[in-house]
Structure 1
């Protein structure tokens, strides 16, 4: 099976969409994703201030971060399914307004309980943005750019984290932690106002047949089954989620780690942590581009690269957290984070290739569900619990080992990818034949 070549990576939905407009759609959707993560991760920059002012434990701080990821995990699938049905652009706008207003609520919180409720609502607003947003992006570009675009779009989360922690740290240092949240909220509301004015559903809809016969043909194939009908796509969900346990945990706890063990203030800790997160975001883009370039005619190579990214990040981060504090440790952390999230592009391309185009929003919601329930939600909370027992420095030494499990899951996906793609392509050929027959009869 290793000699099998697959060049048909699913339906191309970009036909008829001007490339200039596609990039405008990408820029605005990417900008809102940055706002999403600025609102989510600004909390990390003010952890030390909240811990001191409200006498919070690391477990309580971890829960404030984890509740957002938990709500994203629980709600991303149903909300993305609704967005696929009732309009992605309208849905994205409503989401952005909600998380921005909830972030303003964080700025007004008077105690831990109020902050927890506000963070809960941030999670509700952000729940389906990543999955619906990336579905919009992959729909307006050619299919051979999917790994690059998946990696680049998801990297917006890292860049948003960078800006959220860096700007939040500066605002908190000079104006107080409440202004850190308020600044993120204002930025999100401005973008949410502009987005529906410029991005129109009618302009990004792919050029497809709309006859009743065509719709019936699509219904016969039951596109929703492609979300879970292959071992490869399930492995892509699980492997991606496990790997993000590592990257997500380091992002959340790095400002606190720098504050405790490097004795940095919130502004400097936020700036240094932002550089580390920036390395992760750059790695998403570079690894996605590498994946598309090396795997144009051999899609299964994307999975081999994902395995290499998992094992490489495990080695680098394990070595980094075994070193004493200092510049060599920070350099190794940056290198480890450069490839830790490199699986995002290959995993996103696998999901797009292995699922039906009509449910891509829901497919990426399923990926987001796995990312959050397996990685982003439990990672900070479990690490906080372990930190309360053995210290944050020792907890960080255990985190990279999760990458070994992620690599094993991707290896399982590689064994079944060719057969799963062939089965999906055969179903697509049958669907088009049914559609053509229906149009001929009409």
Structure 2
């Protein structure tokens, strides 16, 4: 039987994991990530129904979405640390059970206040899943597959959003909005019960790496989380860009319902196609980053800047056009680039932080993504929509990408030096050689 040797950045630190079992772990962890985002985004498909039944404002609807991202942002760091201590497999199963039961609570809610509490609990359950889940996946695969798997895993959020919006709209149209939440809850509960039966902590836990003299000299690994300008810019740039992507994900179904007179199920289906384009773009942008940046690490930042500005141009043009096929096509293309910075920014964070705290580093990235982007984006846009309309609000949202590009540009000035400062002598030489090759004479 073939095996994968799971590795960390500096050396082989884990045991041998059978190839079929590694892919089973990936499939189940990926499935729970899909459930995570199905439970989170199904709300967007039923916005028009809730707005009419409970007479809600756009700000109130945006708050129901934003509270989930806010709790994810606030709790991802402490819960990720707790999962590392208590056990990742048990933690993931508990998280999935909580968000699934909370989604079932959304289906049973009789008032806006009850729905808000249920959505609050959905956010608590989902808080650390992304950072802990990706740590589990990376622990059973070799280093050479890490970037591709990380991009694919993160794209699972988009695919889950597609299913949540698409299936949610279909269920809501035929059975009512309560069944939309109920269907997502049942799927999550089934996976939550299956996961700890199949995935065992002992089979995925890596050996503890030996401590090298260079690591001792570098100080405590946690310092690398905020130890240089480049990693801080990676956090902030990623969060600002996700303000755009997250806002579009939440409000596109309502936009199609209001300005294209689409029914709930049809708007959900069209929005699902656009979100599918975003997920595919995330994977393609990540693969492009891997291929183009092997000999030139700073190209990751150049590509991130390109993705930011490209999405800004395409989405701005889309909302400047009249409603129709041309607008929808540009919207889909813009969304392909809008989340493309996930791959480069995640690679930057991994390169700039110590390998022993990568789980916490991804939790920090998730924290900033939610506090700067995914949490404020929906309800700020909802508030602006109440004042000037959703069409006008959408024309302003893409401009945030310019700020994200500026942050990444600021990081590029010190990125190679920051990598060399915390890397091995060999990788330091490679980085400095690349820097010399890129510096004009």
TM-score using structure 1 length = 0.91
Mapping for residues 413-428 of structure 1, pairs under 5 Å: 413-426=411-424
Aligned residues of 1:10 and 1:354 also touching (Cα < 8 A): no
What is the SS of the residue equivalent to 1:221? coil
Structure 1, 139-148 or 365-374: larger mean CA deviation: 139-148
Q: Which is worse superposed, 150-159 or 356-365?
A: 356-365
Answer yes or no: is the 8 Å Cα contact 2:9–2:355 preserved in 1.
no
Is contact 1:163-1:274 (8 Å) kept?
Answer: yes
Secondary structure of the structure 2 residue equivalent to 1:298? coil
Tell me the equivalent position of 1:123.
Answer: 123
Describe the SS at the equivalent of 2:413: helix
- The answer (yes or no) to whether the contact 2:14–2:208 under 8 Å persists in 1 is no
Partner of 1:437: none
CA distance in 2, matches of 1:111, 1:195: 33
The residue aligned with 1:295 is 293
Indicate if the aligned counterparts of 1:77 and 1:365 stay in contact, CA closer than 8 A.
yes
Q: Give the structure 1 partner of residue 3 of structure 2.
A: none
Aligned residues: 421
After the TM superposition, which residues 213-232 of structure 1 pair with which residues of structure 2 at under 5 Å, given as runs?
A: 221-232=219-230
Partner secondary structure for residue 17 of structure 1: strand
> 2: distance between equivalents of 1:90 and 1:27?
17
Q: Which among 356, 360, 371 is matched to residue 354 of structure 2?
A: 356
CA distance in structure 2 between the aligned counterparts of 1:253 and 1:241, rounded to whole angstroms: 18
Aligned partners of 1:165 and 1:270 also within 8 Å: yes
Correspondence 1:52-91 to 2 at 5 A: 52-91=52-91
Aligned ranges 1:220-369 → 2 under 5 Å? 221-369=219-367
- Structure 1: how far apart are the matches of 2:12 and 2:417? 21
In structure 2, the residue corresponding to 1:263 is in which secondary structure?
coil
Kept in 2: contact 1:306–1:407 (CA 8 A): yes
Deviations 1:243-267 (A, max 9, x none): 0000110010000000000000000
C-alpha distance in 2 between matches for 1:402 and 1:164: 26
Q: Specify every segment of 5 or more residues in structure 1 that has no aligned partner in the other structure, as ranges.
A: 1-7, 430-442
Instruction: Assess if the C-alpha contact under 8 Å between 1:150 and 1:349 holds in 2.
Output: no
Separation in 2, partners of 1:108, 1:259 = 25
Corresponding position: 1:386 with 2:355: no
Match of 2:174 in 1: 174
| Cα offset, 1:39, TM superposition | 0.1
Q: 5+ residue gaps in structure 2?
A: 1-7, 428-441
CA offsets, 1:312-332, max 9 Å, x none? 000000000111100000000
Distance 1:414 1:145 in 2: 25
Q: Which has the higher contact order (CA 8 A, sep 6+)?
A: 1
Deviation at 1:139, TM superposition (A): 2.6
State the match for 1:3 in structure 2: none
Following superposition, the deviation at residue 220 of structure 1 comes to 7.9
CA distance in 2, matches of 1:220, 1:421: 13
Distance 2:408 2:10 in 1: 20
25-34 or 265-274: which moved more? 25-34
- DSSP 3-state at the match of 2:423: helix
SS at match of 1:229: coil
* 1:248-294: CA deviation from partner (whole Å, max 9, x where unpaired): 10010000000000000000000000000000000111111111111
**CA drift at 1:151:** 1.7
The alignment status of 1:29 with 2:26, answered yes or no, reads no
What are the Cα deviations for residues 293-314 of structure 1, in whole angstroms up to 9, with x where unaligned?
Answer: 1112322211111111111000
- Residues of 1 paired with 2:140 and 2:61: CA distance? 39
> Residue 399 of structure 1: which of 394, 397, 400 is its match?
397
Q: In 2 relative to 1, CA 151–12 (structure 1 residues): closer, same or farther, beyond 3 Å?
A: farther
**Is this contact kept in 2: 1:49–1:177, CA < 8 A?**
yes
SS at match of 2:323: coil
How far apart are residue 120 of structure 1 and its match?
0.2
C-alpha distance after superposition, 1:25-56 (max 9, x if no partner)? 21111110000000000000000000000000
Contact 2:218 2:422 in 1 (8 A): no
Structure 1 segments (4+ residues) deviating >4 Å:
8-15, 217-220, 426-429
- Asked if 1:101 is matched to 2:101, the reply is yes
Measured in 2, the distance between the counterparts of 1:290 and 1:14 equals 28
